[in-house]
Amino acid sequence: MIKYELLLLNGRNMGLSLREGRVLKKMKFVGIKQVSKAVNLGEVNKVYIGKDVEAHLVEELIQNCRMKNIEIVMVETMEELGKMSNIETKAAAAAE
């Protein structure tokens, strides 16, 4: 079972991270390219991004999510995001 916690930034709810105790939904899209494409096509409700991803790699994805009012969840590490996505490697981004 994957656990998560609520992330707060300056008192604002930024979404969920691993740790708290509920199971997350299975990710439909994994990887920056797949997630970006899905965001542009309006196929996702929530995007997860690893906090340790280099900013320039996800800058455009974050802007597109904000423009389309898609919730962004920052996950502690790409390794944790990979585990959330049921893959055996790190993931920079994933979406459901």
Tell me the pLDDT tens digit for each residue of 60-77: 999 999 999 999 999 999
Query: Which parts of the chain are beta strand (E)?
Result: 5-9, 12-17, 29-30, 46-50, 71-75, 93-95
Each of the 96 residues of the chain gets a pLDDT tens digit; together they read 344 444 444 444 445 544 443 344 578 999 999 999 999 999 999 999 999 999 999 999 999 999 999 999 999 999 999 988 888 899 999 999
Name which of 89, 63, 79, 75 is nearest 24 in CA terms.
75
CB within 8 Å of 69: residues ≥ 6 apart: none
Name which of 55, 78, 80 is nearest 93 in CA terms.
78
Q: Which two tokens stand for residue 18?
A: 């691993």
Architecture of domain 26-95: 2-Layer Sandwich (3.30)
pTM comes to: 0.74
